Amino acid sequence: MSKAGRLVVLVSGSGTNLQALLDASADPSYGARVVAVGADRDGIEGLARASKAEVPTFVEKLRDYGTRADWDAAIAAKIASYEPDLVVSAGFMKILGAPTLDAFPVLNTHPALLPSFPGAHGVRDALAHGVKVTGCTVMLADSGIDTGPIVAQEAVPVRPEDDEAELHERIKTVERRLLVDIVGRMAREGWTVSGRIVRIGNQSGGEST
């Protein structure tokens, strides 16, 4: 069974999911703490949040490397230097390659109910499709785009007046709570993966979270 005390969190933007993890891990009983924050770009609020919390940061930009494989190797090496038990991709807008995925469990969060509406525009795509319920998914990352084993999901109703920004904000309120809950439980109770079925703690049969 895997456990997840040391977290490296990867961000590309505002970092509100990161902030929720930083806030939760201020309490030692949470069981996990953010030991480093990585990004694929400079000047984002996520990095500022990490600095404010006195958590080390690193930036690996794809354009600084000759090939994607070089970037994959560089970010994996940077992540490894912080010896994480779990990597959390929290609004990180890059697909991680084998050097990271083979070395560490990676948890990802997505603002739609997978397998519906994967990819960079999950909220926009759900709205355009006219769904009445969407939500968020916390999953283990694999080499695909939002295709990994699902750890937890929560539904969010779509309101007739919603635009993409409003709906995304409402999803993110739920997403932050779910991510904090799941990371804490994975850290404290451990988890196992059997095929596509993820179980936290010593649950036997039936449950999917």
Give the residue numbers of the binding site.
Answer: 15-17, 68, 93-96, 108
How far is residue 124's CA from residue 8's CA, in Å, rounded to a whole number?
Answer: 28
Asked if residue 38 binds ligand GRF (CB under 6 A), the reply is no
45-52 and 16-25 helices, crossing angle to 10°: 20
CB 84 within 8 A of CB 60: no
The alpha carbon dihedral of 7, 79, 139, 199 has a sign of negative
Sites for ligand GRF among residues 4-23 (CB under 6 A): 11, 13-18
Active site residue 168: no
How far is residue 5's CA from residue 110's CA, in Å, rounded to a whole number?
Answer: 22
Q: How far is the CB of 58 from ligand GRF (least distance, A)?
A: 17
Measured from the CB atom, the residue of 11 and 36 that comes closer to ligand GRF is 11
How far is residue 22's CA from residue 16's CA, in Å, rounded to a whole number?
Answer: 10
Of 32, 90, 187, 198, the residue at the interface with ligand GRF (CB under 6 A) is: 90
Measured from the CB atom, the residue of 4 and 156 that comes closer to ligand GRF is 156
Q: How far is the CB of 97 from ligand GRF (least distance, A)?
A: 18
Q: Which helix (H) or strand (E) holds 171?
A: helix 164-189
CB 97 within 8 A of CB 76: yes
Measured from the CB atom, the residue of 17 and 153 that comes closer to ligand GRF is 17
For residues 166 to 185, the per-residue mask of contacts with ligand GRF, x marking binding by CB under 6 A and - elsewhere, is ------x--x----------
**Residues forming beta bridges with residue 38, ordered by sequence position:** 10, 58
Q: How far is the CB of 129 from ligand GRF (least distance, A)?
A: 18
Interface residues with ligand GRF (CB under 6 A)? 11, 13-18, 46, 90-91, 109-111, 172, 175
Residues tagged active-site = 110
